[in-house]
Amino acid sequence: MSALIQQLNPEQHAAVTLPAENALILAGAGSGKTRVLTTRIAWLISTGQVSPAGILAVTFTNKAAKEMMARLSAQLPISVRGMWIGTFHGLCNRFLRAHWREAGLPQTFQILDVQDQLANIKRLLKALNVDEQRHPPKQVQWFINGAKEQGLRPGDVEARDQQSRQLVEIYLAYEAQCTRDGVADFAELLLRSYEILRDNPAIRAHYRQRFRHILVDEFQDTNRLQYQWLKLLAGPEDAQGACVFAVGDDDQSIYAFRGAHAGNMDDYQREFHVRHLIKLERNYRSHGHILDSANTLIANNARRLGKNLRTEAGAGEPVRVFEAPSDYAEAQWLIDEVRQLLREGLPHSEIAVLYRANALSRVIEGALFNAGLPYRVYGGLRFFERAEVKHALAYLRLLDNPQDDTAFLRVVNFPARGIGARTLEQLQDAARLRATPLSEAVDALGGRGAASLQAFLDLVAQMRFQTAAMSLPDLVRHVLEASGLNAHYREEREGQERLENLEELVNAAAAFVTQEGFGLNATAQQRQALGTASDAADSPAAIEAIDPATGETLSPLTAFLTHAALEAGDNQAQNGQDAIQMMTVHAAKGLEFDAVFITGLEEGLFPHENALSEADGVEEERRLMYVAITRARKRLYLSLAQTRMLHGQTRYNLRSRFFDELPPQALKWLSAKQPGFSQVLASSFDRDEQRGWNAPSKAVSGGFDPSTFTPPPPKTSHGLRVGQGVFHNKFGEGVVLSLEGSGDEARAQVRFNRHGTKWLALNIAKLTPVN
C-alpha cells in the first residue's frame, strides 16, 4: 500500500490522503484519475478509516466499475465484495431489489431498455388514440425521460399549453402501464430510489450510517437527479453524514445533450461546502504539441473551472493537418499515413480513427477494407440489443413475470402462430377494460383468436414448468427450442448469424452463472434450501440483493435478465485481434492511443450544425474536440474534406473553426493553408479524377505546396463561391456555406447572420455578392 502511495505525484498524493471531508478533484485528461480514485479507496481501507462495507463508489460505465474493482482487488489483500461499486443505475437497481416493497415493484421487476421503452410508448399512443404526427414517440420518450431526470412526476410537470398537457397525460398513462407490467425504465431506477430515500427516514438513516465514504467518478456527467440522490445519501455535513470524494473534468463534459449537468460541479462546491479542491494537471499521456493544442483550444470556452495540462514528455511530433479535396481523398491520405505508422512499428490497435458522426465512418471503412488493413468499428447494435436476442429474452421474461406485457407482445406471435393484429387489439381492449395484464385478459375473448392465445399461454406455462429445476444455461437452451425460435431461424435463409447469437446467449448465461457464483439450481427457494443465499449477497455484480425482511434472493434468471438490461454487452463479436480502432469521439472518451486521426473537421460536421443553434452548443462541441485531441499519446492527425458525400448529396464544407483555435506553431500543414484557395468550390473535379488523386505523405511544412494546390474556383453561372458573402432582400447578409447543382437546379446553402442557415434555389432567390 505505502509503495502505491509513493508512486504518486504530489497532487495525486494530496488527493488520495485528504482528510475525511468533502472534496473535489479536477482531474484533467490523462492525469491518473482512475488511479487516484482506486488508491483513495485502498488507502481509506488499509488505514482503517473505513471498512469495505462503508464504501460506495459510482462510475459511469460498467467497464469503469469493473476496472476499479479489478484494480482494488489487486491493491488490497481483502475481498472487495462488501463494497458497493457500480453505475448509478446498477446501484439503484441493487437498492430497489432490496426495497422492492417500498418501491411498489415486484421483486422480479424487469428493466426496460431504450427500445422496450419506445415500444411501450408506441403501444400507449395507439391505445390513447394519440396522433403520432403530433407526438412522435421519440419525442414523447425524450419528454418522459427528461422529466424523470429532473425528478418530476407527471403531477410536478408544468403544463401550460394543450400540447404539453397532453404530454403529461401520456406520461401519466405510461407510468400506470409500467407499474401494471412490473417494469422500470432506466430513469425510473434512479427516481424511485431517490424517492424512497427521500420519503423513508428509516431507510435513509440506515444507508447514511452505512456509507461513510462516497466516491464519484466523471462527476461532470451527472444529471440533476443523480446529484440530488447523492445529496440525499450523503446526508448532512456532520458526524451523521458521509464524505464525498468527487472526481471530474468540466472540460470533458460532452453529455449535456442527454441531461448531464456540468453545473453540478459548481453546485457541489457550494452546497457541500467543499474545502478541498485539488487540480490534477500533470498529464502522463500526450506529447507537448498535442497538449498545447488541447489547452489552446479549450481556452476558448468561457465558463470553465480553469485548468491547464502540462507534460514532461517533451514537444514531440507536430500535429499534422491535411485538407483533402474530397472525402475520398481524405480517406486515401489516411491510408497512406496509417501505412507509414505501421512501417514505423506501431501496432494496428494503437491507431484510432475518430469522427463526429457515425455516418462519416463508411468512406474510411471502405478505404481501409480496400487497402487490406484490419479495422474494427465500434458502435451500433450491442449483443443484448439484437432482435433475436431480445426475442429470447422476452420469453425468459415471461417465465419470470407473466404480467410483462412488453415481453408478451414482443413474442406472442413470434415465431408466427396465427395471432394477428385484430386479435391483439381485442385482447388489449379487454385488458384495458378489466385493468389486467394481457395474459389475464385472454379468457375474456372468444373465437379462434382466444384459442391461439391460450395455446401461447400454455406454451409459456409449460416452459416455466419444465425449466423449474434447470440450471440457467439449460433453461435458456430449452426456451430457445421450446419457443420455436431456433426452428424459426434454422428455416430462415439469413438466419445463420442469428442462430449463432442465440447459441451465444446460452454461453452468456453460463458465463454469468460462473461469474456471479450462482449454483446450478434455478430458483430462489432451492437456493435458500441449500443455504447458499449469503453468497449471492456478497456478489460483486451488485444485482442480487437479498430482501432484508425475508432473506429471499433473486433467482439466477431474474438476475441474468437484469444483467442483460443494465449491461447491453459488447457490441463487437471479433474483439481481441489487432485492428485499427474506428469510433465516434464520444465513444473514445476514456481511451488513449499512440496515434489518433480526427477526421471530418468541417463546419457543420464538427462543430455539428445542430449544435450551433443550441445554447452552449459550440462550447460542448469544443469540449468534444478537446476530448478527441487528448486521446493521442504521440501522434495526432487532423483532417477535413472540401467536398463530402453525405445523405446522398454532395456537401461543400468550410474548414472547421477549431483550426483557428489551435496554436499555429504546433501544427504542420500537409496541405496548403490558403483560405482563399482551399475554400473554393471544387465542383470542377469529377469523381474519377479525385479517385486517382494521391496525397504526398512527405509534405512540406507549413507553407505552400504546389502539388496539393487546389485549382481556383471554376466559373459558375451564378458567380458564387463557398465562403462568399452575400446579401438577400429578405434575410439580409450571410455567407455561402455550400453550393450544388447547376443551371436552373443550382442551389446554395447560406448561413444568414440573423435568419440561420437556408437552402436557396439560385434561379429564384436574388443573392447579391458583397465585399
In contact, 651 and 722? CB cutoff 8 Å: no
Neighbours of 512 (CB within 10 A): 21
Task: Report if residue 417 touches DNA, rule: CB under 7 A.
Answer: yes
**Least Å from the CB of residue 328 to DNA:** 13
315 is in an annotated binding site: no
* DSSP state letter for 371: T
Which residues are within 8 A (CB) of 521 and not within 5 positions of it... i.e. 6 or more apart?
Answer: 469, 471, 527, 530, 532
Contact string 598-637 vs DNA (x = CB under 7 A):
----------x-xx--x-----------------------
Task: Report if residue 359 touches DNA, rule: CB under 7 A.
Answer: yes
CA distance 407 to 80: 36
CA distance 91 to 414: 34
**Least Å from the CB of residue 371 to DNA:** 18
One of 218, 327, 405, 619 is an active-site residue; which one? Answer: 218
**Least Å from the CB of residue 357 to DNA:** 4
Contacts (CB under 7 A) with DNA, residues 210-229: 221
Task: Report if residue 75 touches DNA, rule: CB under 7 A.
Answer: no
One of 39, 87, 220, 252 is an active-site residue; which one? Answer: 252
CA distance 708 to 26: 43
CA distance 613 to 754: 12
The stretches of 322-412 forming alpha helices (DSSP H) are 327-343, 361-370, 387-400, 405-411
Q: Which of 504, 550, 630 is nearest to 251 (CA)?
A: 630
Task: Report if residue 597 touches DNA, rule: CB under 7 A.
Answer: no
Task: Report if residue 362 touches DNA, rule: CB under 7 A.
Answer: yes
Nearer to DNA, 126 or 766 (CB): 126
Nearer to DNA, 216 or 611 (CB): 611
Q: Which amino acid is at 542?
A: A
**Least Å from the CB of residue 697 to DNA:** 28
Task: Report if residue 478 touches DNA, rule: CB under 7 A.
Answer: no
**Least Å from the CB of residue 188 to DNA:** 10
Q: Is 218 a catalytic residue?
A: yes
Q: Which of 589, 178, 672, 719 is nearest to 403 (CA)?
A: 178
SS3 30: coil
Task: Report if residue 61 touches DNA, rule: CB under 7 A.
Answer: yes
Distance of CA 607 to the CA centre of its chain: 19
98 is in an annotated binding site: no
Q: Which amino acid is at 490?
A: R
Nearer to DNA, 624 or 760 (CB): 624
Contacts (CB under 7 A) with DNA, residues 20-49: none
Which residue from 420, 551, 664, 703 is in contact with DNA, where contact means CB under 7 A?
420
Task: Report if residue 120 touches DNA, rule: CB under 7 A.
Answer: no
187 is in an annotated binding site: no
Q: Which stretch binds DNA (CB under 7 A): 82-90, 234-242, 517-525, 553-561?
A: 82-90
Q: Which stretch binds DNA (CB under 7 A): 39-47, 270-278, 344-352, 567-575?
A: 567-575
Q: Is 491 a catalytic residue?
A: no
SS3 650: strand
CA angle 80, 81, 82 (to 5 degrees): 100
Pairing of strands 84-87, 55-59: parallel
Q: Is 657 a catalytic residue?
A: no
CA distance 562 to 672: 55
Which residue from 12, 22, 87, 710 is in contact with DNA, where contact means CB under 7 A?
87
Q: 658-687: b or e for each residue (b if 16 or more CB lie within 10 Å)?
A: bbebbeeebbbbbbbbbeeebbbbbbebee
In contact, 387 and 113? CB cutoff 8 Å: no
Task: Report if residue 401 touches DNA, rule: CB under 7 A.
Answer: no
Instruction: State which H helix or E strand residue 768 sits in.
Output: strand 767-769
Nearer to DNA, 221 or 337 (CB): 221
Nearer to DNA, 382 or 478 (CB): 382
Task: Report if residue 186 touches DNA, rule: CB under 7 A.
Answer: yes
Residue length, the chain?
Answer: 771
**Least Å from the CB of residue 63 to DNA:** 6
CA distance 389 to 501: 7
Which residue from 198, 382, 478, 668 is in contact with DNA, where contact means CB under 7 A?
382
33 is in an annotated binding site: yes
Which residue from 358, 436, 526, 697 is in contact with DNA, where contact means CB under 7 A?
358
- Dihedral pair phi/psi, residue 351, rounded to 5°: -115, 125
Q: Is 33 a catalytic residue?
A: yes
Neighbours of 762 (CB within 10 A): 21
Q: Which of 556, 510, 512, 514 is nearest to 533 (CA)?
A: 556
Nearer to DNA, 114 or 761 (CB): 114
27 is in an annotated binding site: yes
Nearer to DNA, 63 or 134 (CB): 63
One of 17, 34, 523, 528 is an active-site residue; which one? Answer: 34
Pairing of strands 243-248, 213-216: parallel
Q: Which stretch binds DNA (CB under 7 A): 4-12, 44-52, 357-365, 716-724?
A: 357-365
Active site residues: 33-34, 217-218, 252, 631
Binding site for DNA (CB under 7 A): 60-63, 87, 89-90, 113-114, 186, 221, 254-255, 257-258, 356-359, 362, 379, 382, 413, 416-420, 566-568, 571, 583-584, 586-587, 608, 610-611, 614, 645, 647-648
Query: Annotated binding site for ATP, which residues?
Result: 27-34
